[in-house]
Amino acid sequence: MLISEFARRAGMSTDTVRFYIRKGLLAPATGMKGGSNPYQIFTEEHLEMARMIRMAQSLGFSLREIAALSVEYYAGGMTPERSLELMRMQLARLEDKAAQLNAMVDYTRAKVRWLETGQKGSEPVFGDFEGCWAEPVATAERAA
């Protein structure tokens, strides 16, 4: 399939597809048509890779991490033990992110209540809500 159909089926723009190609995340074959700009040909395997990229992004992996993991996977280094290690590390990162978001939600709720009550009492201070934030180093250590 050509890039437009691939992009449609993958649920992304052609610009995103081209970006993924430039980053080495997708490597379509080159067709004979197109002259000096040959057509890029995508397969069902490429669609599966695009879905994996989107899933990994939704789990919080960066594109750089996804590219490195893809290389590791295709080189045969993605053992069940390695997968478990990666998922534990990512779970710790997501838990930290959830704690940060919860702190922001708690602060925002307190600020809304304070404003709704006519600014009576002490104004909420964000610093009072950020104590649950973990340092990135702690995340890596907790996952190890």
Distance between first and last Cα of the chain? 42
Per-residue pLDDT, 81 = 93
For residue 2, what are its two tokens?
Answer: 């050509």
Per-residue pLDDT of the chain (144 residues; tens, 9 = 90+): 999 999 999 999 999 999 999 988 999 998 776 566 778 999 999 999 999 899 889 888 899 999 988 888 888 888 999 989 998 999 998 899 899 999 999 999 999 999 999 998 899 998 888 765 545 444 444 444
Assess contact for 58 and 89: CB atoms under 8 A: no
Per-residue pLDDT, 10 = 94
Domain ranges of the chain: 3-74, 83-143
Per-residue pLDDT, 144 = 41
Instruction: Give me the phi and psi of 30, to 5 degrees please.
Output: -110, 130
Helices 14-22, 44-58: axis angle to 10 degrees equals 90
Per-residue pLDDT, 132 = 52
Q: How many helices (H) and strands (E) does the chain have?
A: 6, 2
Rounded to whole angstroms, the Cα distance separating 26 from 51 reads: 11
Q: Is the pTM of this model over 0.95?
A: no
Rounded to whole angstroms, the Cα distance separating 58 from 5 reads: 23
Could you confirm whether domain 3-74 is CATH 1.10.760.10?
no
Per-residue pLDDT, 105 = 93
pLDDT digits (tens, 9 = 90+) for 37-71: 778 999 999 999 999 899 889 888 899 999 988 88
